[in-house]
Amino acid sequence: MANILVTDDNEAIRNALKDFLEKDQHQIALAESGEKAVELLQDNIFDVAIVDLIMEEIDGMAVLKAIKDISPETEVIMITGHGTISIAIQAMRSGAYDFITKPPNFDELKLLIDRALEKREITIGMKVLQTHARERQKFSSLIGSTPAIYKVFALIEKVCRFDTTVLITGETGTGKDLVARTIHANSPRCNNPFVSINCSSTPESLQESEFFGHIKGAFTDANENKKGLFESAHKGTIFLDEIGDASLATQLKLLRFLEDGEIRRVGENTSIHIDVRLITATNKNLLKAIEEKEFREDLYYRIHVVEINIPPLRERKDDIPLLAEHFLRTYSGRLGKKINNISQQALALLMQYDWPGNVRELQSVIRHTVAFTDKDTIVPESFPDEILNIDNKKQSDEKKQMSLQEIEKAYMIQMLENFSWNYSQASKIMGISRATIYRKIKEFGLSPKDDDSDSSMIL
């Protein structure tokens, strides 16, 4: 069923078209003039418009232009008399889909409408794919297609545009640094510095000096003035990783900075105003740290304006094939190897493992595997012992394991989605023939809109 606009100053033709099209369950809007058609276009989106070419005041060419300006995806079929076919052809050059002559042949019209609707669907589909391609480029360092990771993408999209503080939470190895860099790269500050500090690797005694700088003579070995990392990030973004490990003295200075935008170098009495966006991250429970007097409550509420929680890899296992393929391509290129595929048995092992080290651990495993395998396909024997011995560990049976057939189906869907259901490209990556793909699609009952897939596109 489609939403169709019929514009003709001949009442008999309008009504005849309406009666015919409603038999196919289409929803019809009638316009007796070009002016009325333009009015209807302001409040409605039409899939197809059938427009009389010759009308008084506002003619069909003007209506065509109005339609393409307001709703470019609407397909327009012109109605013309025999003497105006040359003008109808001109209309097609201006964006009309096709034309029919008067009196209209309804069978011909039905065929044209069906084809126009197909073209519109393809056009919209291409725009969606182009949008996804832009999104993939925007978040090119972040890989995933599960609902859990899409929530992260949606939050990143929202906070990129504003200077609000952001707290990124998640287990070690989930990619908190990548999220912070992605926010900066897509923000108005993207052309200015991004400075990253890991609080846990900076001794408490040096944190104030490293973060805010010091003047000569402020303490032993302070032989010259030193600019702090906050000053180095002026006009840009500063990322404090593992904020839960910042000393209480550093926390107090951070609070003052967030309140008035000023810092004070160690040993100096005057303040310096700096323009920096603050993003923080932690793998700790800061509320528990507040209870234990290890973290300032007032600072927590200043950095916790927006929280982005990155789920652990064990909670988004459908992203494992994408991540594994990405790391395989990356390290095959860097190490000069020609390893193109991961066998389904090897992928099954990756899907069974719980990845306590999250994405970082998966990255390390694939890098190790690429470095030490001599085959062109990753097989189970290529993996390090902790992956090979997973069956002996069994994770206390607390989670239902996917069957090999379920994993194979999920992998098949993921690869087909990656290449927009282009069987030739997918078969090359998976290392199987097109005939095998056809057989598996039939066996699993798959289609491009398969609901069993918990994914869509890579971002």
Comma-separated ranges of CATH 3.40.50.300 domains in the chain: 147-311
pLDDT tier at 270, thresholds 50, 70, 90: confident
Comma-separated ranges of CATH 1.10.8.60 domains in the chain: 315-444
Architecture (CATH level 2) of domain 315-444: Orthogonal Bundle (1.10)
Q: What is the mean pLDDT of residues 444-453?
A: 58
Q: Rounded to whole angstroms, how far apart are CA atoms 266 and 207?
A: 10
Q: Rounded to whole angstroms, how far apart are CA atoms 39 and 365?
A: 62
Report the greatest alpha carbon distance in the chain.
Answer: 98
HSE toward the beta carbon, residue 377, CA cutoff 13 A: 14
Whether domain 3-129 has CATH 3.90.1150.10: the reply is no
pLDDT confidence of residue 141: 66
**7, 37 contact by CB (below 8 A):** yes
pLDDT at 334 over 60: yes
pTM of the model: 0.57
**407, 373 contact by CB (below 8 A):** no
pLDDT tier at 129, thresholds 50, 70, 90: low
Give tens-digit pLDDT for 195-237. Answer: 999 998 888 888 888 899 888 877 777 778 888 899 999 999 9
pLDDT confidence of residue 195: 94
**71, 28 contact by CB (below 8 A):** no
Residue type, 248: L
Q: What is the mean pLDDT of residues 341-367?
A: 91
| Least confident residue range of 66-75, 252-261, 346-355, 420-429 | 420-429
Give tens-digit pLDDT for 370-392. Answer: 998 888 899 988 898 888 876 54
Pick the more confident residue, 134 or 123.
Answer: 123
Q: Among 54-58, 196-200, 336-340, 426-430, name the most confident range.
A: 196-200
Q: What is the mean pLDDT of residues 122-126?
A: 71
| Least confident residue range of 64-78, 127-141, 250-264, 290-304 | 127-141
- If phi > 0 it is left, if psi is from -120 to 50 it is alpha, else beta; for residue 421 that is left
**262, 256 contact by CB (below 8 A):** yes
pLDDT tier at 369, thresholds 50, 70, 90: very high
pLDDT at 130 over 70: no
pLDDT confidence of residue 221: 75
Q: Rounded to whole angstroms, how far apart are CA atoms 264 and 255?
A: 12
Q: Which CATH superfamily is domain 147-311 in?
A: P-loop containing nucleotide triphosphate hydrolases (3.40.50.300)
Q: What is the mean pLDDT of residues 188-193?
A: 92
**149, 131 contact by CB (below 8 A):** no
Q: Rounded to whole angstroms, how far apart are CA atoms 420 and 456?
A: 10
Mean pLDDT of all residues belonging to the chain: 84
Helix-then-strand count for the chain, H and E: 20, 16
Q: What is the mean pLDDT of residues 111-119?
A: 89
Q: What percent of the chain has pLDDT over 90?
A: 42
Pick the more confident residue, 153 or 406.
Answer: 153
Comma-separated ranges of CATH 3.40.50.2300 domains in the chain: 3-129
